Structure 1
Amino acid sequence: MQPIGRGSGAYAAERPWTIWLSGLLFLVSMTITTLASGQGRSVPQSVAPSDFMRKSVAPSDFTDMSVAPSDFPMMMDVAPSDFFRPQPPVSDPQQGLQDFLPLRSAEEYQGVWRGLDLRGPAPADFVAIHANRAVELYRTANFDEARREIQEAIHKARDQKDTVRSAVAYDFRGLIERMQGRLTDAIDSHSKAVELLEEKGDGAADLLNAKGNLAIACYYYGAYQKALTLLTEIQEVTTDPIIQIRVLNNRGLIYQEIGRLEQAQKDFAFAALAAEGSKDDQLRAECLNNLARLTAVRGKVEEAIQMLGEARRLARGLPRMSKPLEANVLDSWAYVLLEAGRYEPALAKLNEALALEEKAPSPLIKPVIHLNRGRALSGLGRTAEAFEEFQKTERLSQEIGLEALQRQLLSYRGDLHRRLGRLDEAIKDYKSAIDIVRSTRERLTGETEKEFRTTTQRIYRSLVESLIAQEKFEEAFAYLEESKLKVLQDSLRRVHPRLQDLDAQKRIEEARGMLDREEALRQRLLRERAAGAPGEVIEKVESQLKEVKRNFPGVVADLKKRYGNRYASYVGIPTSTFARLKDLLPPGTLLVEFLPTPDFLIFFLVSRDNDLEWRRNDEVKEADLNGAIQQYRALVENVRGVRSSWRIDSWSDPTWKELREATVRLYLALIEPISDRISKAERVIFVPAGILYYLPIHALGKADEEGEIQYLIDQKPVVYLTNSELLSIVTERTTLLEGKSLFALGNPPFEHTEPLLDPLKNAEEEVNAVKRVFGEKAFTLVGQKATRQALLDILRPPAGRVGFEFILLATHAILDPQSPADSWLALDGTNKLTAQEVPNFDLSNVSLVTLSACQTAVESDSPGNELMGLAHFFSQARSPSIVASLWSVDDISTRDLMVTFHKTMLEQKVLDKARALQQAQRALATRPETRHPFFWASFILIGDWR
């Protein structure tokens, strides 16, 4: 590979149209307007207009690695027409922020592209002619025709053996494909451009552009690590300090997007420090703005305000037409103050921002200023004025079609209605906000995926609580379930399944391609409206958007007709009703769903023979409950040293007073209020919420007269569901194999260091002991034989379906709450089996998969997300249930529990996995040496118990 940082002067002069196309490609993708947001905005760096005055363009001219991940959805929305207008050497005030445009006129650019020398006629260049047609078609939103024209340009360039122009055309084809929502094709096109340029060993600027576009496509697709790798490659090969600052800044934005705040803070800090030495005040102001916003998120409000003050000082020294940058900094400043509850100074900053906006009008910034003014006025108790500001926001955001801002407006206005006791109005606003959440994946610029999830869940929760206040319990239950499925859907948005059923995969890809296209068209339409595009262009995009929205429901309906709700979460939010849920529950089964709120705990109780019942425990507040669960987990997990030190001969021993009291306290909060219903049930299904996902509810109990704890598991078998909709999926069973058989894998020779994994000394013995239970009907892989390839041979047999009813995997399972698809099993060396690979296996003959060594920490940001993901991916492979552990367990007691568990299932005439697990856990809980919950309580059964 040729160094990207190498100059391109003479080479560039030989092919000016290619330079221009490369610049266009990269600018269309990377130099875009940042939409204003109530969240405060991350500011992209931009290429100075003077860079486009040179005939020979250095690589740094196009190395504008400037777009925040939250800005990526806007990348497809910069129409080529934006780059054909002659512009003054300043940002366009109509665009809101630094949207620098080239200085050549449209005629000059078109002349270059057609291969015409402006000083006289020249032979026709068919490559350039087709490419030029492609851009013209792109400008008018004729993407299918544009792709056909650029394909012709590729063919002509190939015929001429012009590798570089082929590569540049491939790169532009990728841009069109991203506009069409064809993300896989876009990655292929950009990758082909990179491959050709690397083989050619020339065209450093073109290679840099292609890698930048590939990074964007990878981000869209959810390949965050690949996007980060590409940015890092660019940073490592360039010697231009400005480019390095931009790469650091934008790599930090990606880290922030995926929740890796420490790495983001580090990159932002280095970028800001380097920018200080660059003497580029605009660049420094932008870096400080981004660093300040993250600093505020991490709780350092005063430090963030100091940075924003310096950023504003720098912005004020820039040319007058750079006022949008100053307004952007003021908006970030106001957001920090609003989040800190400092409404008066926030309102003052917003008034200043509004005055700046009036001098340099921007249809994208103005509605956000009014929204935040409404928030500030609401906080100050000036409710009439707040409603006026919200009304202005609603009108302005509807005019430009900014649905993400409308969603946030409806949420804030609903909160104000609710605070004033106007529940009907509040419910109406919350439902309208959720309608937007259902219909679009659009996020506010600057709003990370994590923030979007948090905001969305808050809307659902506010609606559920308002409906409960009006005693609309069934409707509240339905929205509570939908909120959990929304979390799962958001987690799967970047996951592209590889299914055994190729027809299902094709239909999912078709539906998701339509979603991607819809999102791209929404953003394109927003951009065109804000830019005052010609009416015919707007009408064309509107028509395409309506067509996609019209066709999408039919595709989803067909998927659901063929496969039920099994794959619904990939393309939407499957809905569940109380009546449907009742029909799925067999007699004698009680389903309990929890909803912790700031003021009380709500129980929803569902059974076949009763109407939906709800109860409320006014003594249990969410914060207190979370604290009690955290304390319980700490006490249970804090088992160290010699096993005999944790022997419990009697719970009345003062040594165990704190753990006993924590156990009983949670029992009284969660079980006692519904004990009358539990006592009448044969089994109990718990559907947790919040950090209740990390609590072994079956291990809670109350003390008898002697001080001994009577556990819930002593009374009833217990099952867990991550959401009640899972029940409809896991009950779609095929016929089981005749005779019960087992496949088990244990103690592979793993060498993972991130995280550093402890050896599982007794995992081989665990597997061998369970193997002895099944005898000839067991097949095992242990030690050096427990490799990834050997496991894949079992899970992907020539016959298709896995030929075992039970699977036991006795190796470390690392569960990732931020990205459940990336949860993994440790195998030989550094090999892994990731969760997103599981749907590629046919486990329809498998009744149960047991993961006996999970590592799950209590997650506060997305509680239960990893467990929901785990259950989801195995259900996609048609396995109806899994057993997982909530913490890492002593492997001797794990061995004993697994032997009893599997032996009981083998002996049962009618399989009941919940009763088998109950018996295995009780066997340990009654022995003094393993009575401590650490040794047995961690294991939970998720899914179908039959």
Structure 2
Amino acid sequence: MNYHRCTGSRWGALLFFLIAVSATLSGQSPEQLLEAEEYAAAAEAFWQRGSRTDLLKAGEAWSAVDSFLPARQAYAALMKEDNGTPIIDSLSGLAQHKIGVSHYNEYDDAGAASAYRKAILIRDEVFTQAHKDQAHSRRNLANCLSYLGQTDSATLLLREAIDIYETVQPTDSVNWLRSLQDLSQVSAQVRDYQTGVSASRRAISLLHKTSAADVYDAHYVYYTSGVTFYTFQELEEAATAAKEALKYGEEIGDPLEIGQTLNLLGAINDDLGNDQEKIAYWERAINYLTENEVGKAEIGRLHFNLARAKGGTGEITAAFGHVAEARALLTEDAPDYLPRLFSVEGVVFRETGNHEKALAAFNAGLQLLAPYAADELAYPNPDSLSADELETAADLLGDRARTLVSLGRPEAALTDYTLLFALQDQLRTRVSADESRSYLSQNLRPYFDQAITLLYGLHQKEPAAGHDWSAFELSERAKAYTLLANLKQNQDAMPRQEAELRARIAELERSLDTKATNEELLAAARLQLDRLVQSKRKEIVTPDFGIDRQELHSLLSDTGSDLLAFHLGKKDGYRFYFSTDGQLQFTALQNTAALAPSIRRWRASIQEGAYRRKSLLSAEEQGAFDEVFLREGQFLLRQLLSDESLDLGENLCIIPDGPLALLPFGALPLTEEKPPLNYAGLTYLQSAHRIRYAYSATVLRELSERPAVSYQHNLLGFAPSFGGEASAEAVGRSVSLAARLGERALVGLQPLRFNRAEVEDIADMVPGTRIFVGDKATRSRFLEELGDGQILHLSTHGMVNAADPKLSFVAFTQRGDSLELEELLYYNDLTALPLQTELVVLSACETSLGTYVPGETTLSLATAFTAAGARSTLTTLWQVDDAATRDLMVAFYRELATGKDRSEALSAAQLAQLEGGDFAHPYFWSAMTLYGEAGAIDFAGGGINWYYLAGALVGFLLMGGYVLHYNKQKRGADAGAGKS
């Protein structure tokens, strides 16, 4: 944070006595002395007068001439009665706050922090409602703690201050603005993407609305926002903010501010790939600062940037020249920047092939972060580093590890990678927003890929050394981090305010308009949510995202499953096969770059070449699809599973990675035939194996350890009705536009002919079922009932938006000709749901699809339900046929009701469809994928089958009416007979 601190000296008691005598002799009042800027004399005169207000003015006057010790004595005096009893009121709160300011101006951050804490205690007791003074003390304390390296506490205090400024009236818009920028800066230091970006957007919006801010505030807001956006690679926003900052900087006329902003613009253009522009900005900044004889540290950083740029273009001599210039300037004026300079120097040496000098440079940078390292290689302690140093150290370790590999020192490289991952874990556990975690995970994933490749090489040389398990552990840590973090949160314990705020954020995320009206509201809501979440955290604890080998063996043995886990990097790919006997195989995949295009072609052949019983395409067209299905399917089989040493068991649990998440493994053909194909007669992987999937073994373990829950119903089924003509894709394309335009209705969805029959048939097989069909299958009813069902079954329309997962949805009942936005349940609605169900079945289109995030997993409706707490999900990989899905679902539940486990029941249902004739093509049966727990579901108890109870009651009433009617007729007949 950039704050001005005063310097000064302390006055002796004799000097103050002489000044006091002088003031007395002059006959001037304290106010006259103050007006004449005779601060010391005025201070003593106020002191002599002695009221509490006078003591406050005395302290302020002494502070004006940097006489902080007597100033603090004056402030302390007004806070007590004559007998020493503390006075607790707003004036005492102000005095204690000013004591903090005095310590701060003497660079005594610890003393200032202690004083601000006391000020907060007083002000929180005095003010029964939110008051801006409470926010002031929190902001100042946060500033001190930031200097002391306590960024987490500083961040929490800034969140609290901002929350107060948001609510109090009249507010202090300038300090509110500055608090937002302070939060933005701290968030950039700890790499909390969501908080930093939200704070900057909120600050820019507030700046446009307040007239109290001056040109200095405007420059500060735009410059800090530009740095924050640049840090988190929001480059277009960064460029816009930096250009505004330059405009205000030139208006101020401060050469250093202008030079820093030019440097920022150069860095932004560097990341945008604008090579000429970045060099021009940096050289312009150097010339400007040199001409004005200011900013040696900034000039050093500019030479640092130019060294990096010249090294990247092969201008080695020029690069080393800039390194020398940077070192000369930074050593004296900005030594904290030297580790980054050594990083650049090392990269330049590595580009020239001089790995020894590169190693020396990287190590020198790390030695500056680990001054007490005694070994040849320096290893910084993660707990001793600031958040900014954590990332610098991680970059240096990654570069040094690559260099050590080149020098034939793989064990030392592994040590570097291990420490790098520990450093990054420190960063990931500091943030709470999914977007922030994903940002860090994506940056970290390439290091995991490099380390696993290194371990594979070591495993080839020493197969029994345990490198295979080490690689598997790293692969686990490289996947589904955010999903696991969400699972570890206690959803049931979520406060109502937090749940409502999450729901509000979800709605705002979907309805951002071009005028940025909702963007301001969204930023404010995100900041408020972040404060709520962070305020519940007692301390930072790195979660255990690993899994013990014996633990995994036991977990898989319980279900008799072999584990197939894949890890795909940009260049290399690997397969881990963990069998039920506890053996692990670690295998390199060949030609991994060909996997993604092959999967696309194979899926297209399945979807476009599907038919029931007989193809309606020409023999030539159908033959082409058949040929692609066989060719690409068998290529994928060879690449992924064909291995003489691979002896797959009957039950398989597959952990896909990257494009493999889109692959229905069960449909891979095991037999070779020539077109035309008889799909019912082919042998598939599904023919011999029961297949389920997992996001990671660690997620699987977490799901298995979730506590048992009592349910009111065994199954809750929903079959909404629709009366439009649009497909789910067409509606999906219009969702964002409708929300932005403020429209509440969309075109109607096409009817589903078989979804009602599907849930009614299921209800007939599963005891303790309650279903909602037609007008009763509403979103609100689903949200009311979801905690009561062991299984949630949704037979409806669904759509995945790969470009923006937040717009993915499942639809509930449509009323009339149009579909209301309120009847859609979105991906980001699910985070606030208290969902601890055994199984969620989304009998809808494409609910397993989504955007893949490296270092995380696919962002789909299936993962959203898993993150909300579902032990397992059954979802689809493409648009499914309504009738075929009905048959498949009915067969699945029929098998499940007999006591079969989930994967066995699904496999049996799929094989039955494959062998049945009508739906033998893989398009109809292979889209359904089971993720998570595979065990059987106990349908004992489960409450009352309300649907059939209602049916029986209606039947009873009808029968009762019939009996009464019959008896009445009979009595009439008997009476007539008697009369005759």
TM-score where L is the length of structure 2: 0.65
Q: 1:325 aligns with which of 288, 298, 305?
A: 298
Q: 1:744 aligns with which of 702, 711, 718?
A: 718
Conservation of the 8 A alpha-carbon contact between 1:593 and 1:688: yes
Q: What is the Cα deviation at residue 130 of structure 1?
A: 1.7
Q: Deviations over 1:677-701 (max 9, x none)?
A: 13xx212111122332333333333
Q: Deviations over 1:458-510 (max 9, x none)?
A: 3333222222222266444344334443554467779994621579x99xxxx
Q: What is the Cα deviation at residue 591 of structure 1?
A: 0.9
Q: 1:500 aligns with which of 486, 492, 498?
A: 492
Match of 1:407 in 2: 394
Distance 1:492 1:601, change over 3 A: closer
Q: 1:453 aligns with which of 441, 463, 466?
A: 441
Q: Deviations over 1:168-199 (max 9, x none)?
A: 335446668985845896366324531464x1
Q: What is the Cα deviation at residue 250 of structure 1?
A: 4.5
Distance 2:571 2:130 in 1: 69
Q: Deviations over 1:426-451 (max 9, x none)?
A: 2232223334334555999xx99767
Q: 2:789 aligns with which of 803, 817, 840?
A: 803
* 1:683 counterpart = 2:651: yes
Q: What is the Cα deviation at residue 141 of structure 1?
A: 3.6
Q: 1:293 aligns with which of 248, 254, 267?
A: 267
Match of 1:753 in 2: 735
Give the 3-state SS of the residue equivalent to 1:200 in structure 2: coil
* 1:397 counterpart = 2:369: yes
Q: What is the Cα deviation at residue 653 of structure 1?
A: 0.5
Match of 1:429 in 2: 416
* 1:462 counterpart = 2:435: no
Q: What is the Cα deviation at residue 373 of structure 1?
A: 0.7
Give the 3-state SS of the residue equivalent to 2:647 in structure 1: helix
Match of 1:365 in 2: 337
* 1:904 counterpart = 2:874: no
Distance 1:596 1:367, change over 3 A: same
Distance 2:840 2:849 in 1: 24
Distance 1:835 1:768 in 2: 24
Q: What is the Cα deviation at residue 370 of structure 1?
A: 1.5
Match of 1:772 in 2: 760
Distance 1:424 1:942 in 2: 37
Distance 1:216 1:169 in 2: 19
Distance 1:572 1:424, change over 3 A: same
Q: What is the Cα deviation at residue 415 of structure 1?
A: 0.9
Q: What is the Cα deviation at residue 576 of structure 1?
A: 1.1
* 1:190 counterpart = 2:156: no
Distance 1:110 1:496 in 2: 53
Stretches of structure 1 that go unaligned for 5 or more consecutive residues are: 1-24, 30-54, 56-83, 85-102, 118-122, 507-550, 557-570, 797-801
Q: Deviations over 1:868-893 (max 9, x none)?
A: 9954863663x310123345x25xx1
Conservation of the 8 A alpha-carbon contact between 2:256 and 2:295: no
Conservation of the 8 A alpha-carbon contact between 1:686 and 1:719: yes
Give the 3-state SS of the residue equivalent to 1:742 in structure 2: strand
Conservation of the 8 A alpha-carbon contact between 2:779 and 2:823: yes
* 1:149 counterpart = 2:118: yes
Match of 1:847 in 2: 839
Q: Deviations over 1:389-431 (max 9, x none)?
A: 2232122122384343333222212211212222222223222
Distance 1:297 1:629, change over 3 A: farther
Q: 1:107 aligns with which of 61, 67, 73?
A: 67
Conservation of the 8 A alpha-carbon contact between 2:652 and 2:692: yes
Distance 1:928 1:836, change over 3 A: same
Match of 1:576 in 2: 547
Match of 1:705 in 2: 673
Give the 3-state SS of the residue equivalent to 1:685 in structure 2: strand
Q: What is the Cα deviation at residue 831 of structure 1?
A: 7.4
2:579 corresponds to which letter in structure 1?
A: S
Distance 2:73 2:793 in 1: 61
TM-score where L is the length of structure 1: 0.68
Stretches of structure 2 that go unaligned for 5 or more consecutive residues are: 6-34, 36-58, 78-86, 372-383, 499-537, 724-730, 740-745, 813-819, 936-980
Match of 1:940 in 2: 929
* 1:694 counterpart = 2:662: yes
Distance 2:887 2:261 in 1: 58
Distance 1:814 1:344 in 2: 52
Q: Deviations over 1:643-675 (max 9, x none)?
A: 999869899712554454333322221122269
Distance 1:297 1:790 in 2: 49
Distance 1:937 1:305 in 2: 55
Q: CA RMSD in A?
A: 5.1
Conservation of the 8 A alpha-carbon contact between 1:814 and 1:823: yes
Conservation of the 8 A alpha-carbon contact between 1:481 and 1:724: no
Q: Deviations over 1:6-38 (max 9, x none)?
A: xxxxxxxxxxxxxxxxxxx98499xxxxxxxxx
Conservation of the 8 A alpha-carbon contact between 2:913 and 2:920: yes
Q: Deviations over 1:97-139 (max 9, x none)?
A: xxxxxx976536994996799xxxxx99423322134557884
Match of 1:613 in 2: 585
Q: 1:622 aligns with which of 592, 596, 606?
A: 592
* 1:792 counterpart = 2:780: no
Conservation of the 8 A alpha-carbon contact between 2:145 and 2:154: yes
Give the 3-state SS of the residue equivalent to 2:796 in structure 1: strand
Q: 2:690 aligns with which of 703, 707, 717?
A: 717
Q: Deviations over 1:707-738 (max 9, x none)?
A: 43643223322111111122222223637769
Conservation of the 8 A alpha-carbon contact between 1:727 and 1:943: yes
2:786 corresponds to which letter in structure 1?
A: L
Conservation of the 8 A alpha-carbon contact between 1:881 and 1:941: yes
Q: What is the Cα deviation at residue 230 of structure 1?
A: 1.8
| Correspondence 1:131-280 to 2 at 5 A | 131-134=97-100, 139-141=108-110, 145-146=114-115, 148-155=117-124, 158=127, 164-169=132-137, 171-172=139-140, 179=150, 181=152, 186=157, 189-195=160-166, 197=168, 199-200=169-170, 203-212=172-181, 222-223=194-195, 226-238=198-210, 244=218, 247-251=221-225, 253-255=227-229, 260-264=234-238, 267-268=241-242
Match of 1:671 in 2: 641
Conservation of the 8 A alpha-carbon contact between 2:184 and 2:228: no
2:931 corresponds to which letter in structure 1?
A: I
Q: Deviations over 1:784-820 (max 9, x none)?
A: 6555433321135xxxxx2342332635465789999
Q: What is the Cα deviation at residue 937 of structure 1?
A: 4.3
Give the 3-state SS of the residue equivalent to 1:616 in structure 2: strand
* 1:829 counterpart = 2:821: yes
Conservation of the 8 A alpha-carbon contact between 1:854 and 1:886: yes
Taking every aligned residue pair, what percent have the same amino acid on both sides?
17
Moved more, 472-481 or 828-837: 828-837
Distance 1:332 1:310 in 2: 13
- How many residue pairs end up in the alignment? 764
Conservation of the 8 A alpha-carbon contact between 1:590 and 1:607: yes
Distance 1:652 1:646, change over 3 A: closer
| Correspondence 1:369-388 to 2 at 5 A | 369-388=341-360
Conservation of the 8 A alpha-carbon contact between 1:481 and 1:723: no
Distance 1:737 1:869, change over 3 A: closer
Distance 1:818 1:186, change over 3 A: farther
2:934 corresponds to which letter in structure 1?
A: W
Distance 1:778 1:184 in 2: 48
Distance 1:855 1:610, change over 3 A: closer
Moved more, 341-350 or 268-277: 268-277
Higher relative contact order (CA 8 A, sep 6+): 1
Distance 1:215 1:460 in 2: 29
Moved more, 686-695 or 852-861: 852-861
2:473 corresponds to which letter in structure 1?
A: E
Distance 2:489 2:70 in 1: 43
